[in-house]
Amino acid sequence: MRCAACGSAVDDSWDASPLCPACHVVAGAPLPHQTMRAPLWLWTSPSARAALATGNLGKILRAYRKATRISQAVLAEGLQYDRTYIVMLETGRRVLTDVGALRRIAEHLGLPAHALGVTDRADADFAAMMKFGQSTVRLSALARESGHSAEAINELWPLVWRLESRLAAGHSDHNVAHLLGQAHVVLGVALGDILPEESLAAAARWTGRGLNIAGVLDDAWLLTRALRAHGNELRKVGRKAAAAVRLRQATEVAPASERGTVLIPLARTLAELGDAEGFDSVIGDLHRFMDSAQETPLVNPFVVREVHLRGLLTTGRVRQAIRLAEADVPDVSDLAPQWRAIERVTVAEAFSVASDASSAETALRQSILTAEALRLPHQIQRAMRTARRRFPDIEAACTTALQRLQLNPTR
């Protein structure tokens, strides 16, 4: 089908509305989600994964009983076997080769049939989809960083739907859960770009679902990104104390390469909490982090400048903020374009506090143009607050831009 609003092609698995997923959420409707009926984490633990890797039915049955804390008798009853038969399977005294029986056991254990050595067309199709799933998540993240969050949502939703359907049908394993966790995080962050402020709680819910998965899996990289994303979305909806907790947790588990990207939202959150000392400490850490990685910078100095500038304003140090706003702007190469809109609003706030009306108005107009082009309604809402009662023409321009985004959500 094609989206009734923008005409873009939509995956056949999407049937929540005649709009594509991005238009759907911009119009104010939530994304649907599956109800998890299966024991989602059953096969994600290291011991369960080790049992699966052997392909040995006896070890898999024992791992299942250990994870579910059931006896051989209870498992036998569920499978409609005698307990002694389960004992023989677990000890290897009986080898099961009947395809129908193996399929039935796999279904009961919440496993894909191929885990027990049975060829299955649906599993083969799903395995092919998994190979492309990582690319889908990676390319969606790149699209979002390039200012195309709506496209990222439209690419991610079919993948999320299929992964959740898979888990809801009782076929869970570590790889599926890991990929779904990544997809939830990127989807939540992309929603956080295109939703207006009053709807940003939806983005926090999706990153929260990613964090729920990351909290179970033994993967520091995924846990760091989920904590960072969820913390930042919590900050945006006003839950700043909870955001600070998540972001501090992220700094504790972050691999060295991820530390800078966690310090950025942590600095912003501490400033918004009024913790000037904590903010200064984190900004110092950020600069030391950049100095230690000069040859291959892992955070953009332009982003650090914007966070520093906004933090100084938020903690009441206007003179320092003005000096920073007037200083030379760092190189903007390899910068996610949405940061230009974010930075222009922050600079406008600084000039507005300093009563430099001309510079503030120029920066606000630049921010509105960029934010509308990239479909960033909450940045336009920030610009509107900065312009309120001082720049009526800018307020009117913000209202018009928001109306255009609502009427033409994929513009």
Q: Which residues touch 269 (CB under 8 Å, ≥6 apart)?
A: 231, 232, 235, 240, 243, 244, 247
With 70 as the cut, is the pLDDT of residue 28 above it?
no
pLDDT in tens, 134-151: 899 999 998 888 888 888
Residue 197: phi, psi to the nearest 5? -55, -40
Domain ranges of the chain: 46-109
For the ranges 155-169, 256-270, 371-385, which has the lowest average pLDDT? Answer: 155-169
pLDDT in tens, 161-217: 888 877 776 666 788 889 999 999 999 999 998 888 888 999 999 999 999 888 888
State the pLDDT confidence band at 336, using cuts at 50, 70 and 90. confident
Mean pLDDT in residue range 35-62: 73
State the pLDDT confidence band at 51, using cuts at 50, 70 and 90. confident
Cα separation, 237 vs 144, whole angstroms? 20
**Residues 183 and 159: beta-carbon distance below 8 Å:** yes
% of the chain residues with pLDDT over 90: 42
Residue 2: phi, psi to the nearest 5? -120, 145
**Residues 51 and 228: beta-carbon distance below 8 Å:** no
Q: To 5 degrees, how large is the angle CA 375–CA 223–CA 255?
A: 100
Q: What class, spelled out in words, does domain 46-109 have in CATH?
A: mainly alpha
Cα separation, 214 vs 174, whole angstroms? 11
- Whole-prediction pTM value? 0.75
The predicted pLDDT at position 40 comes to: 47
Cα separation, 357 vs 365, whole angstroms? 12
